[in-house]
Amino acid sequence: MNKILKWEDLNKFEIEDLDRVNGINNSYANLRLFGHTENDILVTLYRDRHSWCPYCQKIWLWLEFKRIPYRVKKINMFCYGQKESWFLNKVRSGKLPAIEFKGQVITESDNIIAFLEKEFGALGSPITSGDLLETRELEREIFRSWCNWLCRESFNFIDNSFRKKRFKESISKFEEILSKSKSGFIDPSVSNSGEIEPGVGDIIFIPYMERMNASLTYYKGFNLRSNYLYINKWLTLFEGTSAYRGTQGDFHTHSHDLPPQMGGCYKESNEKQIAFSKLIDTGEGLGNFELNQNYDSVHYSKIALKRVIKHKDNLIKVNPYNKEFFEESLKSALTYMITDEVIIPEKLSGKSLSYLKNRISVPRDMPIISARLLRQSLNKIELLSNDNEIDKIPLEHRYDQDPRNFIFD
């Protein structure tokens, strides 16, 4: 081939369109029917536009596993954009998630689930049941110990070791519960087809466990999956469901969307932390530590390509670095991703590729594997450039991810 593919050539690599409404769970859907009609919809879910909010993920998962038809309205989070005025008129606090049911608006994720259970029945145990009381308390205990270790700066070794010890004590309780489960879930439910699926007890845990696994790996060099056998099994069971994979973020996204949400995340410099964070930042990814499933790389590369082509004009417009070089550099990276051929453009901008690599958001833009393959390709071409100045990702906010320049669908 020996040439960088043009947009019209890249566009020939077709992939079957996703059925957003009745197919597998996906972040692009504004309507989910599960074979019902629009007249059957009673629930509207208001969730964050970038799929960063863990509490939104909890309600999203509950509706998907329960297969309740619903509409989706996507709202900005304050850390990356201005909250929509029409939503503030509906929910004065601006809190997410929220649902609307027959004109009634409910906020707070646990309250939402309790309300939905009264209308549609429980998923596993009822959320207010005594059986889940200790489970819910443990989830909050683990959350607090995680925040204490991740989000508070340690000024000496003893202080940091104590916080790490407290987290490990808390997470070990979760590991022990899972070790006694025959199904591998905390609160198993049975689907209409007779399959064992996670219940609400598991759905309460998964959003922050996903974020803990990413953030502790990146900032502390501590990976949950490699340290806890039954947690690894539990995560793998979740990843075996398309309902969960449609909501799942990756390590790169969480490592860089959490600081402005959490008020800061602090690194513990050690050999593993340095190695893990480098693999995450370059886009190489951490393999099965992020997603423990087999996959077809050709299929997921085409998904990434299709998503880039859909937004290419805006991607080119908003990139702040070397605009005159970016388009050809991007096509070079996409050519490599699709054909495995490295063809260097005459004018190559590494920094503009780095900027894009750092702003791919999972699952907002594409699935984990697609994002991994795209980041790897961008990084491959980026490293061939003499322009390797580091693009710094903001820590106090993420206004660089302001959605006004895009339609994220």
**pLDDT at residue 404, rounded to an integer:** 84
Q: Is 19 within a domain? A: no
> What CATH code is carried by the domain that includes residue 283?
1.20.1050.10
pLDDT of 188 higher than 70: yes
**pLDDT at residue 1, rounded to an integer:** 59
**pLDDT at residue 360, rounded to an integer:** 97
Let me know whether 268 and 170 are in one domain: yes
Let me know whether 99 and 177 are in one domain: no
- Distance CA(193)–CA(82), nearest Å, equals 43
- Surface-to-core class of residue 260, CB atoms within 10 Å of its CB (0-12 exposed, 13-18 middle, 19+ buried): buried
Domain final residue, candidates 67, 100, 120: 120
Let me know whether 134 and 277 are in one domain: yes
pLDDT of 24 higher than 80: yes
**pLDDT at residue 409, rounded to an integer:** 57
Considering only residues 406 and 212, tell me which one the structure prediction assigns the higher pLDDT. Answer: 212
Q: Is 95 within a domain? A: yes
**pLDDT at residue 405, rounded to an integer:** 77
Domain final residue, candidates 289, 306, 327: 289
Domain final residue, candidates 96, 120, 144: 120
The mean pLDDT value for 42-69 works out to 98
Let me know whether 92 and 166 are in one domain: no
Let me know whether 367 and 394 are in one domain: yes
Let me know whether 134 and 234 are in one domain: yes
Let me know whether 269 and 382 are in one domain: no
pLDDT band at 408 (very low <50, low <70, confident <90, very high): low
pLDDT digits (tens, 9 = 90+) for 218-274: 999 999 999 999 999 999 999 999 999 999 999 999 999 999 999 999 999 999 999
Ranges 46-60, 122-136, 369-383, 392-406: which has the least confidence: 392-406
**Residue 97, domain extent:** 42-120
pLDDT band at 122 (very low <50, low <70, confident <90, very high): very high
pLDDT band at 156 (very low <50, low <70, confident <90, very high): confident
Q: How many domains is the chain built from?
A: 3
- Distance CA(318)–CA(77), nearest Å, equals 20
Tokens of 102: 């027959």
Let me know whether 142 and 108 are in one domain: no
Let me know whether 179 and 243 are in one domain: yes
CA angle 38, 409, 263 (to 5 degrees): 110
pLDDT band at 386 (very low <50, low <70, confident <90, very high): confident
pLDDT digits (tens, 9 = 90+) for 333-370: 999 999 999 999 999 999 999 999 999 999 999 999 99
Count of other CB atoms within 10 angstroms of residue 320: 11
User: Is the CB of residue 185 less than 8 Å from the CB of residue 236?
Assistant: no
> What CATH code is carried by the domain that includes residue 83?
3.40.30.10
